[in-house]
Amino acid sequence: MSICGFISNPPEEFPWEYGIESAPHAEFIKQIEEAIEVAVEWDEIDTFCCEMSNKADWDFAEVVLSLKENKYPKIKLICVVDSEPNQNLSKQDIERYNTILQKADKKRRLNDFSIIDKCKQFIAAWNGQKSGRTWEKLYFATQKSVYFVRLKDIKADTDELNGRLKRELRDARESSKRCVFAKIAYTFLIEELIAKHPDPVATFKATIKKHPYFKRDITDLAETLKLNLDVD
């Protein structure tokens, strides 16, 4: 199971006024949908996960459920909950929250399930501010793979939806195609070097120690090459 998590600023911290009937919100949903599609088709993600702490999380969960119903029937949704929904919410919001939980494939308690630890990669809706709880999560998430939906790039002052992120995503897809061949060539090269190296495992471990940021990538490469690094 490969899990992609969702991290987002709460709607009150968005750089534009949050409202499900607005053009910026429509673009926000569209960018999330495209990011999920890339995760499924290119990164072979089969499970998506989000906390249910704010309406941006609910948006993400609903997009996953919609794609599951209409396009990717095998994907799953894990909802991580801390407690019952805030009773100050409207009746409509509480019904929305409960509907998402009913349709989710799994529910986990926040104190039993760490999104940062369990997820292979992330989709992040970020307002660009390097402070606060969301930034703290992102700091640790960026040690893995993160696709950013940059909230500041979504226009709030026009009815024309911003196509910049869509173009970036298209370019990323093309880049991913090229990267597949580059990774294959790189793997063959490393295999040849390892065959001639006296102690490849020690070299991999030393590289991880010197560059801990790349630990996951180096470990994945070692697994591909069937090297047992025995690294925690």
**Are 154 and 192 within one domain?**
no
Tell me, yes or no, whether 168 lies in a domain. Answer: no
The tokens describing 3, both together, are 């899990």
Single out the residue in 162, 197, 216 at which a domain terminates: 162
Task: Give the number of other Cβ atoms within 10 Å of residue 106's Cβ.
Answer: 12
Look at residue 173 in the predicted model and tell me its pLDDT: 61
Do 151 and 185 form a contact (C-beta atoms < 8 A)? no
Q: 229 in a domain, yes or no? A: no
Would you say residue 167 lies in a domain? no
Number of structural domains (the chain) is 2
Summarize the confidence of residues 131-147 as an average pLDDT: 88
> What is the rounded distance in angstroms from the CA atom of residue 30 to the CA atom of residue 203?
44
Tell me if 170 is assigned to some domain.
no
Q: For residue 20, is it within any domain?
A: yes
Angle 17-122-88 (CA atoms, 0-180°, nearest 5)?
Answer: 40
Q: Which residue has the tokens 């910026």?
A: 24
For residue range 33-75, what is the model confidence (pLDDT) as tens digits?
A: 999 999 999 888 999 999 998 999 999 999 999 999 999 999 9
Q: Are 158 and 189 part of one and the same domain?
A: no
Considering the domain boundaries, does residue 230 fall inside one?
A: no
Q: Are both 74 and 120 inside the same structural domain?
A: yes
Record the pTM.
0.67
Identify the pLDDT of residue 141. Answer: 87
User: Of 139, 162, 185, at which residue does a domain stop?
Assistant: 162
Residues 77 and 182 occupy one common structural domain = no
Name residues whose C-beta falls within 8 Å of residue 115's C-beta, 6 or more positions apart in sequence.
5, 7, 49, 50, 51, 80, 137
Please check whether residues 206 and 153 belong to one and the same domain.
no
169 assigned to some structural domain: no
- Write out the residue range of the structural domain in which residue 43 sits: 3-162
* CA–CA separation, 197 and 206 (whole Å): 14
Task: Indicate whether 152 and 68 sit together in one domain.
Answer: yes
- Does 41 share its domain with 18? yes
State whether 120 and 186 are in the same domain: no
**Boundary-marking domain end, from 113, 136, 162:** 162
pLDDT in tens, 158-211: 444 445 555 565 566 666 656 666 667 777 777 777 778 888 888 888 888 887
Task: Indicate the residue type of 138.
Answer: L
98 and 198 housed in the same domain: no
